């Protein structure tokens, strides 16, 4: 599983060799490992369509089954992860975002509507777009991570012969 954090501010600090943290990526990695999955790569990129597309293409051409993007799913003009990743989907999983918003509503109220988190499959692989908040990453993964292998399995099933 690959984890890529999308954050212009963290990316700029990294590029300037300043101290930076990637708490959302750290939370994602901890949750993934806790469920017994392996993290093969982590990345940190800016809110930049070219960089996001490059990560999606690298993933789809590689051997990993699951790509988690954290960040860029909100409503600011800078939040472009969803618009950039969605064209790669062969099948979108709107239930992923619906589930996260439902759970989040119980925790944070109406602000849950601000996330546009989503997921989809392409080439028998799963691409997941998580919010950038560490708490939202934790909530989303605890609610859905156990289903990821099943999603990949179903996405890879061959078409029935007729």
Q: What is the CATH number of the domain that holds 67?
A: 3.40.980.10
Instruction: Give the pTM.
Output: 0.93
Domain total in the chain:
1
CA angle 15, 119, 12 (to 5 degrees): 10
Cβ atoms of 38 and 69 within 8 Å: the answer is no
Residue 77 lies in a domain: yes
* Cα separation, 61 vs 80, whole angstroms: 22
Residue 47 lies in a domain: yes
CA distances from 100 to 38, 77, 105, 127, 138 (A): 23, 22, 8, 16, 10
Cβ atoms of 100 and 139 within 8 Å: the answer is yes
Q: Which domain holds residue 94?
A: 2-156
In this structure, the chain runs to a length of: 162
What is the pLDDT, as a whole number, of residue 134? 95
Rg for the chain (alpha carbons), in Å? 15
pLDDT in tens, the chain (162 residues): 999 999 977 767 776 777 778 999 999 999 999 999 999 999 999 999 999 999 999 999 999 999 999 999 999 999 999 999 999 999 999 999 999 999 999 999 999 999 999 999 999 999 999 999 999 999 999 999 999 999 999 999 988 876
* Cα separation, 106 vs 51, whole angstroms: 34
Total Cβ atoms within 10 A of residue 146: 10
* Cα separation, 4 vs 23, whole angstroms: 12
Residue 122 lies in a domain: yes
Among candidate residues 150, 112, 106, the one with its CA nearest the CA of residue 131: 112
Given the DSSP bridges, would you call strands 118-122 and 91-92 parallel, antiparallel or unpaired? antiparallel
Residue 162 lies in a domain: no
Mean predicted lDDT score pLDDT of the chain = 93
Residue 145 lies in a domain: yes
Collapse the DSSP code of 126 into the 3-class scheme (helix H, G, I; strand E, B; otherwise coil) and give the result.
strand
Residue 85 lies in a domain: yes
């Amino acid at each position: 599983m690959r984890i890529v954090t999308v954050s212009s501010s963290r990316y700029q600090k990294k590029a300037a060799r300043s101290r930076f943290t990637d708490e959302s990526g750290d939370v994602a990695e901890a949750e993934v490992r806790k469920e017994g999955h392996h993290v093969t790569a982590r990345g940190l990129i800016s809110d930049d369509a070219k960089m996001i597309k490059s990560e999606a293409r690298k993933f789809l051409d590689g051997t990993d089954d699951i790509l988690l993007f954290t960040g860029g799913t909100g409503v600011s003009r800078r939040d472009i992860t969803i618009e950039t990743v969605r064209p790669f989907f062969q099948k979108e999983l709107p239930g992923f975002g619906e589930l996260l918003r439902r759970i989040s509503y119980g925790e944070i109220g109406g602000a849950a509507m601000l996330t546009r988190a989503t997921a989809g499959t392409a080439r028998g692989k799963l691409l997941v777009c998580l919010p950038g908040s560490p708490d939202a990453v934790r909530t989303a993964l605890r609610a859905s991570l156990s289903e990821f292998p099943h999603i990949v399995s179903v996405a890879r099933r061959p078409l029935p012969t007729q």
